[in-house]
Structure 1
Amino acid sequence: MSSPLVIVLTGGNKGVGYAIAQTLLASSSHTPVVLYLTARTPVLGEQAIAQLLASTPPALGSDVRFHQLDITSASSIAAIAADLKRDVAAIDVLINNAGILPSGDFSVQLAKETVGCNYDGTKAVTFALLPLIQPGGRVVNVSSTGGVMRNLPSPALREQFLDPALTVDKLDGLMRKFEQDVEGGTWKEEGWPENAYRVSKMGMTGFSMVLAKENPNIIVNACCPGWVKTDMAPMGTKTPEAGARTPTLLAIGDIGGKTGRFWKDEVEVPWTEGIE
């Protein structure tokens, strides 16, 4: 029996994250896994694991374990990094699924909260666990087609996101500029959409591209699970199980070594989709 893949899944207690966990465990007879399912609230994470073990028992040699993780908390991120460093030799796959879609009026508070979780939080977890990801390992960032470049009104801003010389520092600068422009009331003139979630996912996909470029020894991709019916999107048309297919493909499937790409419906699609 081959050694199990060590997979870390953020935001795994509900919705698409829970469905990803189910799909990974269902395939564990073919691909043994030790799955670290994380959630911000311990009781919800433990409940999710109990439900998983009852509905989708892992195959022999596989396991699912809970670890608390709030991706907006530096101490929480440091704790999981330290525990994993102690408990495993290496991580094979990191699936960054945790994120928020807050409701409420468009405001600087909402912008900072959304970007702070979806972009800054994802980035912080990734950098904390990156030293543990072994060569050939994978990072899967669950982003959104809301973050494709056609949803960014400004050609000048699109040019910066799509710059082949884009770095994390420059991407940080773009995220901070968005927050500052919202705070100053100049976001529309500067060419941003009135949608903090979309901008946060532009940052998340951009981060995926930069991470892939700067770490050629691992495989990094971003994807959209689709419009999935969850508590974040009650009007969604896709089941969580269907939404889990693309992230799971990128985590353990044969994708021909492709990296630094954006995916939807299990195929690569252009991040520049819709731009004339």
Structure 2
Amino acid sequence: MSSVIAIVTGANKGIGRAIVRNLAVEYSKSIYPQTTPKLVIYLTSRDVSRGMATLAEVTRELEDKKVLEAEGGPAEIRFGELDITDSTSVNNFKKTVQNVCGEVDILINNAALGTEFQGEPFSYEVVEKTLKTNYFGLKNMTELFFPIIKNPGGRIINLSSGLGRLAALPSKSLRNQFSSQDLTQEQLDRLVNKFQNDVRAGVYAEEGWPTSGMNKAPWTIAYNVSKLAVVAYTKLLARRLDKEGIMINTHVVDPGWVRSDMGGENAPLSVDQGAETPVYLALTQDKAIEINGQFWNKKKPIAW
């Protein structure tokens, strides 16, 4: 029996966990089951014990929904060990998925690091490890999995943040460089590396990078730039796919301020509300998704 294959990175908690659960619930309501009766979701985590515990919890939560295969529904959830910052880990997981499933229909890049939200002071080390996961890790995962993403019909959905808007950059020159329609992958990588180097040299303010984060607090600077780079990468990737005639839908999402370990208990949105737009983009047949590289919030394209 043919299956739709979905991968959700960083799915052991927060929005990632909610995306897995809601993919299972919403799949039966979509038009996919008419042509492809089964959905296989890979819930991935670099921490095996946490990932397996989350899988067990989500399975229990979905029992009364009758959406899992064991209860007669269309969805099956599997655990996958995955560290997106480690190319060996990504390649090993890719081989597993390819051997079992062949192609991947949906890749949702959710895995992210935000130690600044837990109070870790801004530093070069924070910048380095934040970008390693949020930008370089996401790009690494996408590029290594790209050869087995279904063409035509595959979907790549990258999670960014409202904190990753162009307005986060004080410098007009930097805003223009990140948003340029001619930006290349090499240039984007150089911009990201320049931010790291400018922080290490103590000249990031003079070079036009943010000096404050959310609500003007002196934190989340690394997170903001990492998520801005995710938007730029998604738009760059979309242009590349369009130019090469590759029919894979590629979008980036601001899920909103969500009550999670990162967003905190005062955030206005639940994790399920944060998962709405990524799940929508994964399953919708809305023609709007055919315009690649859009920045989405509340199931609608928005300005970056």
Shorter-chain TM range is over 0.9
**Structure-1 residue corresponding to 2:285:** 254
**Structure-1 residue corresponding to 2:223:** 197
**Structure-2 residue corresponding to 1:88:** 101
Q: CA deviation at 1:3?
A: 3.4
- Does structure 1 conserve the Cα–Cα contact (< 8 Å) formed by 2:27 and 2:283? no
**Structure-2 residue corresponding to 1:106:** 122
> 1:66-115 CA deviation, whole Å, 9 max, x = no partner?
01111111221111111112111210000000001113221111111111
- Does structure 2 conserve the Cα–Cα contact (< 8 Å) formed by 1:249 and 1:255? no
Paired with 1:7 and 1:22, the residues of 2 have a C-alpha distance of 12
Q: CA deviation at 1:4?
A: 2.7
Paired with 2:144 and 2:82, the residues of 1 have a C-alpha distance of 12
Equivalent residue for 1:150, pick from 164, 167, 183: 167
TM-score for the superposition, normalised by structure 1: 0.95
- Does structure 2 conserve the Cα–Cα contact (< 8 Å) formed by 1:4 and 1:62? no
Paired with 2:169 and 2:224, the residues of 1 have a C-alpha distance of 9
Paired with 1:158 and 1:61, the residues of 2 have a C-alpha distance of 45
Letter in 1 for 2:44: T
Alignment of 1:234-245 (within 5 A): 234=264, 235-245=266-276
Identity %: 35
**Structure-2 residue corresponding to 1:184:** 201
Paired with 1:244 and 1:180, the residues of 2 have a C-alpha distance of 34
Matched, 1:220 2:250: yes
Q: For structure 1, list consecutive stretches of 5 or more residues without a partner in the other structure.
A: 272-276
Matched, 1:23 2:22: yes
> 1:169-214 CA deviation, whole Å, 9 max, x = no partner?
1110010000000001110011001300000001111110011111
Q: CA deviation at 1:62?
A: 2.4
**Structure-2 residue corresponding to 1:264:** 297
TM-score for the superposition, normalised by structure 2: 0.86
Paired with 2:279 and 2:107, the residues of 1 have a C-alpha distance of 11
**Structure-2 residue corresponding to 1:274:** none
Letter in 2 for 1:124: N
Equivalent residue for 1:139, pick from 122, 142, 156: 156
**Structure-2 residue corresponding to 1:120:** 136
Paired with 1:99 and 1:258, the residues of 2 have a C-alpha distance of 26
- Does structure 2 conserve the Cα–Cα contact (< 8 Å) formed by 1:40 and 1:68? yes
Paired with 1:70 and 1:202, the residues of 2 have a C-alpha distance of 22
Paired with 2:207 and 2:78, the residues of 1 have a C-alpha distance of 45
> 1:131-160 CA deviation, whole Å, 9 max, x = no partner?
000112000001001111011110000110
Letter in 2 for 1:255: D
Q: Provide the secondary structure at the position in 1 that maps to 2:27.
A: coil
Paired with 2:268 and 2:291, the residues of 1 have a C-alpha distance of 29
Q: Provide the secondary structure at the position in 1 that maps to 2:154.
A: strand
Q: Provide the secondary structure at the position in 1 that maps to 2:150.
A: strand
Q: CA deviation at 1:259?
A: 1.3
**Bigger mean CA deviation after superposition, 28-37 or 133-142:** 28-37
Paired with 2:100 and 2:291, the residues of 1 have a C-alpha distance of 30
Paired with 1:61 and 1:101, the residues of 2 have a C-alpha distance of 34
- Does structure 2 conserve the Cα–Cα contact (< 8 Å) formed by 1:38 and 1:69? yes
Q: For structure 2, list consecutive stretches of 5 or more residues without a partner in the other structure.
A: 33-37, 212-220
Paired with 1:3 and 1:243, the residues of 2 have a C-alpha distance of 29
Letter in 2 for 1:87: V
Equivalent residue for 2:42, pick from 25, 29, 36: 36
Letter in 2 for 1:160: Q
Q: Provide the secondary structure at the position in 1 that maps to 2:140.
A: helix
Matched, 1:169 2:186: yes
Paired with 1:126 and 1:229, the residues of 2 have a C-alpha distance of 27
**Structure-1 residue corresponding to 2:59:** 53
Q: CA deviation at 1:167?
A: 1.5
- Does structure 1 conserve the Cα–Cα contact (< 8 Å) formed by 2:171 and 2:208? yes
Q: CA deviation at 1:40?
A: 1.2
- Does structure 2 conserve the Cα–Cα contact (< 8 Å) formed by 1:171 and 1:207? yes
Letter in 2 for 1:101: G
Paired with 1:63 and 1:164, the residues of 2 have a C-alpha distance of 40
Paired with 2:101 and 2:238, the residues of 1 have a C-alpha distance of 24
Q: CA deviation at 1:55?
A: 1.2
How many pairs does the alignment contain?
A: 270
The 3 A distance-change label for structure 1 pair 255 and 166 is farther
